[in-house]
Amino acid sequence: MKTSLVAVDLHGQGCADCAVRGFSVCASLDQFEMREFEHLSRRVNFASCETVFAQEDTSSFFYNLLDGVLRLYKLLPDGRRQIVGFVLPGDFVGMTTEERHGFSADAIGPVTVCQFAKMPFARFADDKPNLLRRMNELAVHELNQARDHMVLLGRRSAEEKVATFLVGWRDRLVELRGPSNIVPLPMSRQDIADYLGLTIETVSRTFTKLEREGIIAILPGGVSLRDSARAEALAAA
Amino acid sequence: MKTSLVAVDLHGQGCADCAVRGFSVCASLDQFEMREFEHLSRRVNFASCETVFAQEDTSSFFYNLLDGVLRLYKLLPDGRRQIVGFVLPGDFVGMTTEERHGFSADAIGPVTVCQFAKMPFARFADDKPNLLRRMNELAVHELNQARDHMVLLGRRSAEEKVATFLVGWRDRLVELRGPSNIVPLPMSRQDIADYLGLTIETVSRTFTKLEREGIIAILPGGVSLRDSARAEALAAA
DNA sequence: GACTTTCATTGATCTGAATCAAAGACCGGT
DNA sequence: ACCGGTCTTTGATTCAGATCAATGAAAGTC
């Protein structure tokens, strides 16, 4: 909720050695473009629970997540919250033509982002079809994810929701750090509930139920997918 | 559900006189680009309830809606349906880099679309930053809508859902055809239910409730927003 | 204009998830 | 190791919306 006072700003110490270089937006840039691009960005750190940007903020920056996890959420005036996505390293956030962000982003645990000022970035991208195409690709991909999530929110039971979330989250981590059925869950139960359109109690009960059924084991800080076939079946059907 | 056998294909009789020219993707093209663009598209008609493309179809075409309304939806294996959006003239659909569409589109009433083959379109767009930027803009806009809809599906009551839908639908029609508080609803109650993550009975009851409260009047083929301030209050909060 | 079919409304009942209410578990600080 | 806070789990109860079941109102069709 609070905004960073202690964020350490260090100029992007080269994109060449960036952890995210190979698979983020920047993957579409050649060597020379990259050289220029470096000067548009700077690294910023945020502590756990700090807000990277808020719903009502003017959208003057884009961010590329380098390390950590973000939650993106929207709040209704009465405080109800819907988490619209979790962000992992390599994901690009906040790209919008609109005046304001429309959603908030905050850090789940310590986070490092690569921050771009909107205007210089837009000027840079303006005549780079490869970058523009890559950004399109990312937007379309996110849109597809968003639509899948609509199906989940509108038409699935609590058990299906939780199973789908666990399988989906595992798959994203597998892509990032290699195969494993141990699924770390850095976000709280409340976060999971607000992502799935449930209450914290229902999430907790559903975890317990899945454990009783032998589908998962609940570990400190995460779960293990004991029977991923059955979890995937719940997620698919 | 069925696919068109009677679709009348007529070559785009000029984009210059196209109803949608001013505000769709094509708005970003200059006179010369437009000349070339014309040859990439052709008009196709669909009768009510015909499928423009299906979830599992290879995505070899994009579409620009010229006339009528489409519903976009996803089906779960067991038949549960989530409508992910309604498409109005000027909207661009089916743009994706992925192999398959991932959702189905069918006509609500007779429809005319402007159809583009994916490959030639991509080749055309490749070196047109203005068009690419416009497409980005549209994708980002859709993504914002999708996120708003997630909030609705995950965190709002039936009454709020219906009110939000009516106000939002009216606003889209106002943009298209000018101000009016009479809101034609070409889609069925079942469609509305599948859009809002409700059942048809709940939608029907909620309409009746809003009418009793004096917020709307139910008309054949639509509603009238009698007290749009109160409807908007329900939609906002 | 009667007849079938589809779609919308209304009513009665049920249920999955929400809400209300305690306990436990797990910190971080001292 | 102990304390105070936060987070998670579990239990009891309620309720919004789903399900089941008619009935009513349009829209074709012959």
Which residue bears the tokens 């809809």?
Answer: B149
Residues of B with CB under 8 A from a CB of A: 74, 76-78, 80-82, 84, 95-98, 102-103, 126-129, 132-133, 135-137, 139-144, 146-151, 153-156, 194, 196-197, 236-237
Task: Find where tokens 């939806």 sit.
Answer: B73
Residue B4 lies in a domain: no
Residue A2: pLDDT band with limits 50, 70, 90:
very low
Q: What is the mean pLDDT of residues A81-96?
A: 95
- Contact A186/A110 with Cβ under 8 angstroms? no
In a domain, B198, yes or no: yes
DSSP A47-64: -TT-EEE-TTSB--EEEE
Asked whether the beta carbons of residue A151 and residue B98 sit closer than 8 angstroms, the reply is no
In chain B, the number of structural domains is 2
Strands B182-184 and B104-117: unpaired
**Of B151, B175, B208, which residue is a domain's last?**
B151
- A112, pLDDT greater than 50: yes
**Residues A70, A109 share a domain:** yes
Same-domain status, B136 and B19: yes
- Specify whether B197 is located in the same domain as B170: yes
* Residue A21 neighbours by CB under 8 Å, 6+ apart: A15, A27
Q: Could you give the percent of chain A with pLDDT greater than 90?
A: 78
- Do B147 and B161 sit in the same domain of this protein? no
Same domain for A139 and A186, yes or no, is: no
pLDDT band at A13 (very low <50, low <70, confident <90, very high): low
Residues B175 and B229 in one domain: yes
Chain A positions with Cβ closer than 8 Å to B: 74, 76-78, 80-82, 84, 95-98, 102-103, 126-129, 132-133, 135-137, 139-144, 146-151, 153-156, 194, 196-197, 236-237
Each residue's pLDDT tens digit, B75-92: 999 999 999 999 999 999
Greater pLDDT, A2 or B174: B174
> Is B49 a domain residue?
yes
Measured between beta carbons, the chain A residues lying within 8 angstroms of B95 are 140
Same domain? For B28 and B130 the reply is yes
CATH number of the domain where residue B96 is located? 2.60.120.10
Please tell me the distance from the alpha carbon of residue B231 to that of residue B171, in angstroms, as a whole number.
Answer: 12
Residues B72 and B51 in one domain: yes
Answer whether any strand C atom is within 7 A of the Cβ of B188.
Answer: yes
Kindly list the distances between the CA atom of residue B140 and the CA atoms of A198, B131, B136, in Å, as whole numbers in the listed order.
27, 14, 6
- Of the two residues B31 and A51, the one the predictor is more confident about is A51
B2 part of a folded domain: no
Q: What is the CATH number of the domain that holds A175?
A: 1.10.10.10
pLDDT surpassing 50 at residue A3: no
- Tell me the longest C-alpha to C-alpha distance in chain B: 56
Full residue range of the structural domain in which residue B30 is found: 9-151
Q: Is residue A94 domain-shared with residue A121, that is, in the same domain?
A: yes
Report how far residue B82's alpha carbon sits from residue B199's, in angstroms, rounded to the nearest whole number. 11
Give the type of residue at A186: P
Residue type at position B30: D
pLDDT at B198 over 90: yes
Domain boundary (B126, B151, B176) is at: B151
**Nucleic strand C under 7 Å from the C-beta of B130:** no
**Looking at residues A11-18, what average pLDDT do you find?**
67
In angstroms, how far is CA A92 from the centroid of its own chain? 8
Q: Is residue B212 part of a domain?
A: yes
Mean per-residue pLDDT over chain A, rounded? 91
Question: A152, A185, A218 — which closes off a domain?
Answer: A152
What per-residue confidence (pLDDT) applies to B24? Answer: 86
Q: Looking at residue A35, what is its pLDDT?
A: 84
Q: Which helix (H) or strand (E) holds B69?
A: strand B61-75
